[in-house]
């Protein structure tokens, strides 16, 4: 049954991707053949390019089309954010608030599900994944999360289903056979403390699905990431898959806050904090300004680089910063192409600047630009 589903899925998704990639390639003059250098303990021979929610710069995020496009653009890893349904199925969404990325608000049969909940300490109004069964989720369709920035993506609103983690794995494994190389998975557990309090723990179903599909151990081409700490500590006792502690630029992990703790992300980014992370994780995913902060006018100056990467490497942690997007609105001032906030700027140049700090990989919404930046950087080493 699974092989039949895969065989039907791949041609349809691949055809869509081929049609929508026309005109999106970067300047051929910037393409370089990759340069290989020594493998690390995870079987990596170069910094990894992680497709942030798929090729989300071009297609609504967390859809099979977005993941397929990222794979065909050369992603080393694809990254699904995971939330859970009422009946315990892991699905790929940016958040458990469904109206941010689906057409649920236009479904009259679900009008009565709109409610107010407190999620990670904040009151949120909307429709929530944990109030829907998977069968109900499958009646919804994805929409672009930031149409103001990516209006072209909105033309696909309503076309794609909400995928389960298993469907994403099926897609990745089908493409592995089709392309002849491995494709990594980089799932993020969203709101683990919140879901745990509802009796819908994320850890057990995540490890179960991964193990059922042959993913186990440090060479499984999987990283599991979280902004919380207890979630990762629990996973450490359940699996040998490498874990990654995410760091936001301010505040503290929700589980720390919920327990009345004082540990902040800023403290976790210190040498002492990184050493503590290394006791339960194999990597750290910092907001990129921990590595190179912008100057007072928003320019990126490599001379302002911190010692974050060196300190993380000193305690054995890989470093995978986030998120590299090529629209001007997300770029440093000196990497923008024009005053149009939604036009594409020099995202390749920004990535190459960060690669010079020694990072081990990076998250990007524009996979093909990440590949060009990585390979061009290595060619000049």
Residue 156 per-residue DSSP state: G
Overall average pLDDT of the 57-83 stretch: 98
Give per-residue pLDDT as tens, 314-332: 999 999 999 999 999 999 9
In the three-class reduction of DSSP (H, G, I as helix; E, B as strand; rest coil), residue 27 is classed as coil
Does pLDDT of 218 surpass 90?
Answer: no
Overall average pLDDT of the 291-315 stretch: 98
Q: Residue 347: left if φ>0, alpha if ψ -120 to 50, beta else—which one?
A: alpha
Q: Residue 241: left if φ>0, alpha if ψ -120 to 50, beta else—which one?
A: beta
**Residue 112: C-alpha distances to residues 29, 72, 99, 108, 269 (Å):** 55, 40, 13, 8, 43
Degrees, nearest 5: CA angle 322-324-325 = 135
Mean pLDDT of the chain: 92
Overall average pLDDT of the 25-46 stretch: 47
Overall average pLDDT of the 198-227 stretch: 96
Q: Which of the residues are catalytic?
A: 52, 94
At 169 the pLDDT is 98
Torsion angle (degrees, nearest 10) of CA 104, 90, 366, 281 = 140
- Nearby residues of 122 by Cβ (< 8 Å), 6 or more positions away: none
**Residue 118: C-alpha distances to residues 104, 124, 126, 317 (Å):** 20, 6, 11, 34
Percent of all residues in the chain with a pLDDT value above 70, rounded to a whole number: 89
At 14 the pLDDT is 58
Give per-residue pLDDT as tens, 96-131: 999 999 999 999 999 999 999 999 999 999 999 999
Cα–Cα distance measured from residue 6 to residue 178, given in angstroms and rounded to the nearest whole number: 11
Of 36-40, 143-147, 174-178, where does mean pLDDT reach its minimum?
A: 36-40
Pair type for strands 115-119 and 122-126: antiparallel
More confident residue, 266 or 8: 266
Q: What's the distance, Cα to Cα, between the start and end of the chain in Å?
A: 47
Cα–Cα distance measured from residue 196 to residue 374, given in angstroms and rounded to the nearest whole number: 38
Does pLDDT of 12 surpass 80?
Answer: no
pTM, to two decimals: 0.92
More confident residue, 41 or 238: 238
Neighbours of 40 (CB within 10 A): 11
Cα–Cα distance measured from residue 202 to residue 40, given in angstroms and rounded to the nearest whole number: 30
């Amino acid at each position: 049954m699974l092989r039949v589903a895969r065989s039907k899925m791949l041609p349809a998704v691949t055809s869509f991707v081929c049609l929508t990639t026309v005109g999106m390639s970067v300047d051929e003059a910037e393409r370089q053949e990759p340069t290989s250098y020594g493998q690390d303990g995870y079987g990596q021979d170069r910094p990894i390019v992680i497709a942030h929610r798929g090729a989300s710069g071009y297609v609504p995020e967390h859809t099979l089309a977005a993941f397929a496009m990222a794979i065909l653009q050369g992603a080393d890893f694809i990254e699904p954010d995971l939330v859970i349904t009422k009946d315990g199925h892991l699905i790929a969404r940016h958040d458990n608030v469904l109206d941010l990325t689906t057409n649920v608000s236009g479904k009259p049969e679900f009008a009565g599900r709109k409610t107010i909940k407190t999620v990670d300490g904040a009151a949120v109004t909307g429709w929530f994944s944990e109030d829907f069964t998977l069968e109900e989720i499958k009646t919804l369709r994805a929409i672009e999360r930031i149409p103001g920035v990516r209006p072209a993506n909105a033309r696909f609103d309503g076309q794609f289903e909400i995928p389960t983690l298993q469907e994403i794995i099926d897609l990745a494994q089908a493409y592995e056979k089709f392309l002849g190389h491995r494709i990594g998975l980089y799932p993020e557990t969203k709101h683990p403390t919140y879901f745990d309090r509802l009796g819908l723990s994320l850890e057990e179903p995540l490890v179960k699905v991964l193990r059922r599909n042959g993913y186990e151990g440090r060479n499984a081409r999987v990283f599991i990431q979280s902004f919380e700490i207890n979630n990762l500590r629990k996973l450490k006792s359940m699996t040998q898959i490498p874990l990654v502690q995410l760091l936001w630029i301010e505040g503290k992990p929700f589980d720390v806050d919920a327990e009345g703790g004082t540990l902040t992300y800023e403290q976790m980014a210190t040498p002492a904090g990184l050493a503590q992370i290394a006791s339960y994780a194999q990597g750290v995913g910092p907001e990129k300004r921990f590595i190179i902060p912008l100057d007072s006018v928003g320019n990126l100056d490599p001379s302002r680089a911190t010692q974050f990467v060196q300190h993380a490497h000193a305690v054995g942690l890989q470093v995978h910063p986030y998120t590299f997007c090529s629209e001007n609105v997300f770029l440093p001032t000196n990497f923008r192409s024009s005053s149009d906030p939604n036009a594409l700027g020099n995202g390749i140049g920004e990535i190459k600047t960060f690669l010079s700090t020694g990072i081990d990989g990076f998250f990007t919404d524009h996979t093909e630009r990440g590949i060009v930046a990585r390979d061009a950087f290595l060619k000049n080493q």
